[in-house]
Structure 1
Amino acid sequence: MKPAARVDNSEDDDALMVRLQGGDPRAFDELYERYRSPLWAYFLRNTRDSQLAEDLAQETFLKLHARFWDYLPSGRFKGWLFRIAHNLLVDDVRRKSHDALLHASKHQAKEDDDHMQRIADDLLPPDATVEKREVAELIEQLLDEIPADQRETFTMHHFQDLSLPDIADAMEVPLATCKSRLRLAREKLSEKLALRGFTPAAAATQ
């Protein structure tokens, strides 16, 4: 699945949902174009299976279409949509073995590569002389070594650009839990980088 072309976000998500609830099918098409790539990337990051990510993204949109009357316009559409996605991911995890979920996908989207570069910049000190691409590739592998709830929180925040309140909505947990999971994910990734000889940014400033 190729990343979608950038779309005009001048009309906010709530307005599109109101149009959809009013019977305008074009509103669904606009939401699909807006969120198909973020959803696919979210599922790919958490399943490592490109075709499965595609299937789960499509299923998310089917559920959105079936449940659009359940949404009350409140400015939290992104969290509501990713709650559907999160629940589908949880259901899939229950159906599959851990080994199957860690099946490595060879697909690397340019957008994901840019995200990994920024995360490497964030976790390493500014004066680090290591090759950031090497660190980005290592972080990609290390994400599989942290607990699933922390990994999902980390990927929602850093790859899908969800705010912490939206992630809390999506995962149906308190905001404090969401903040804790993100902090733990960052700490564990930094620790694992340190064990491999890379100095985390926090340690470099002490």
Structure 2
Amino acid sequence: MSFAGFPDEGLVFYEGLEADNSKTYWTRHRQTYDSCVRVPMQALVDELAPEFGGAKLFRPYRDVRFSHDKTPYKTHQGAVVTPEGRGAGAWYVQVSADGLMVSGGCWRLESDQVARYRRAVADDVQGGRLRAEVDRLASAGWDIEGERLIRVPSGFDVDADRTDLLRHKSLHATRRWEPADWLHDQRARDEVRAAWRELTALNAWFADNVGATTKEPRARR
């Protein structure tokens, strides 16, 4: 199936889910979710795969085991592309009642990855490379987000350049669009492709300097 946009019915579906996040609502509107949200999202990432790689679509169900919020369903559909063998740096796309969102970078880093990230930021060459890329994206209207410390981590000069980058424990750039007519046709694919291309250098920095974690996966209980 070729991508033809996200039907308005999909956004309306999420408006309803935000108001009634229940199994009853989900069961009644499951066909709308499948045909107007999940199928178009799969078609979108399939068409982008030759350039960026295969994507993983996230499940619509929330993990409520350790959350105070027990609502069972996510109010958005996301998909992520994590290039094999690069370890860090990914592309993300999401559709919801709020419209379209794209993002790139890293959302969660293990302790060994955080250590490598900080060493790279402190390095004049690699830190300068990230500084320039973050500044470029911010100037182009991207939001620079991610978990960060209140203070600069110990062992680093608090007066040094790039202290804002040193405080990050994860870093990603995000752009959001409110619902618009182009979201319902192939222009949505073109916007995502163009946005992901803008994030290529940021993802390359993470792949070059952070890479995959070397920590053993936690044993399941």
Q: Provide TM-score, normalisation by structure 1.
A: 0.34
Give the structure with the larger helix fraction.
1
Q: Provide TM-score, normalisation by structure 2.
A: 0.32
Give the structure with the larger strand fraction.
2
Higher RCO (Cα < 8 Å, 6 or more apart) = 2
